[in-house]
Amino acid sequence: MKKEDNLHKEHRERVKARFLKHGFETFDEHVILETVLFFVIPIKDTNLTAHRLINKFGDICGVLEASYDELVSVEGIGKASATYLLMLGALYRIITEKKNMIQADALSVDSVGNFAAQRLMYEKKECTLLVFIKNKRIVDTKLMTVGDKRRTMFDSSEMIRRALELSCDMIAIAHNHPGGSLTPSVDDYRTLYTTNTLTENMNIRLFEYYIVKDGIYYPMLLNSEHELEKIPKEP
């Protein structure tokens, strides 16, 4: 083994031992990235690559929120390491969502709104989150991309199928406006109206329809409760 390779190996073993003793609490962010990259970039020094990632994306959160194309544009990050970092980001979001699942005594317009806003905070494309509720508890969620906005914000047939599978009694919907504002659009109002009618026909209550952006939310149904008939219909 070359002397340089041996030095890298010894350094990695020291960093791993430090993590096992103290966790990541004592690590700088670039060292955290350097360490996790050990497991996907063999032998080579990952410290410089970690610095490049921080310089490009600002912090470790920015790195884990970056797209595949953005990651592979960084020198030292190939297909495997980009995929690995994407997996770490996705895993973090799943764990956060599971921890934030709302129990019965916490179910409210605000608690579900905060839950949905946090879940959609890192989504860069327009999408819709379906939140399925049974016995005042969130039992499942499903993230759906936006379809043809002239027709619908999401595929309602998938919502119906999953709602019936779960025998849920309420559904909350959150739609993000990346790069926009919290002000509902005409399409938002149309989707609210059609979805409310659809869930009523299923004997399921539409708990709330949220517009979300940057971790904050606007509850449309709460603010339109007495004005549903004024909502513009499909032409």
Domain boundary pick from 61, 77, 97? 97
Domain boundary pick from 77, 97, 117? 97
For residue 76, what are the domain limits? 3-97
The CATH number assigned to the domain holding 27 equals: 1.10.150
In a domain, 196, yes or no: yes
Give dist(CA 117, CA 11) in Å, integer: 41
| C-alpha dist (Å) from residue 121 to 41, 116, 148, 161, 231 | 30, 8, 22, 26, 27
Query: Are residues 144 and 86 located together in one domain of the fold?
Result: no
- First CA to last CA distance, the chain: 73
Q: pLDDT per residue over 151-165, tens digit each? A: 446 678 888 899 999
Query: Are residues 92 and 107 located together in one domain of the fold?
Result: no
Give dist(CA 189, CA 59) in Å, integer: 37
In a domain, 235, yes or no: no
Q: pLDDT per residue over 127-178, tens digit each? A: 899 999 998 888 899 988 764 444 446 678 888 899 999 999 999 999 999 8
In a domain, 76, yes or no: yes
Query: Are residues 157 and 219 located together in one domain of the fold?
Result: yes
The count of domains in the chain is: 2
Query: Are residues 92 and 138 located together in one domain of the fold?
Result: no
Domain boundary pick from 35, 66, 97? 97
Token pair listed for 129 = 């989150």
pLDDT band at 25 (very low <50, low <70, confident <90, very high): confident
In the sheet that holds 216-219, the strands lie side by side as 137-145, 127-134, 170-176, 205-213, 216-219
Query: Tokens 């409210």 correspond to what residue?
Result: 108
| Cα pseudo-dihedral 71, 176, 101, 192, rounded to 10 | -150
The CATH number assigned to the domain holding 197 equals: 3.40.140.10
Give dist(CA 63, CA 55) in Å, integer: 10
**Which of 82, 87, 28 lies closest to 59 in space, CA to CA?**
28
Q: Between residues 178 and 99, which one has the greater pLDDT?
A: 178
SS3 50: helix
**Which of 78, 36, 33, 39 lies closest to 59 in space, CA to CA?**
33
Query: Are residues 221 and 134 located together in one domain of the fold?
Result: yes
* Cβ-proximal residues to 186 (8 Å cutoff; 6+ apart), any chain: 232
Give dist(CA 220, CA 222) in Å, integer: 5
Look up residue 170 and give its amino acid: M
Q: pLDDT per residue over 212-229, tens digit each? A: 999 899 999 887 654 555
Looking at residue 149, its pLDDT comes to 44
Looking at residue 63, its pLDDT comes to 94
Give dist(CA 231, CA 151) in Å, integer: 15
Query: Are residues 108 and 205 located together in one domain of the fold?
Result: yes
Query: Are residues 136 and 79 located together in one domain of the fold?
Result: no
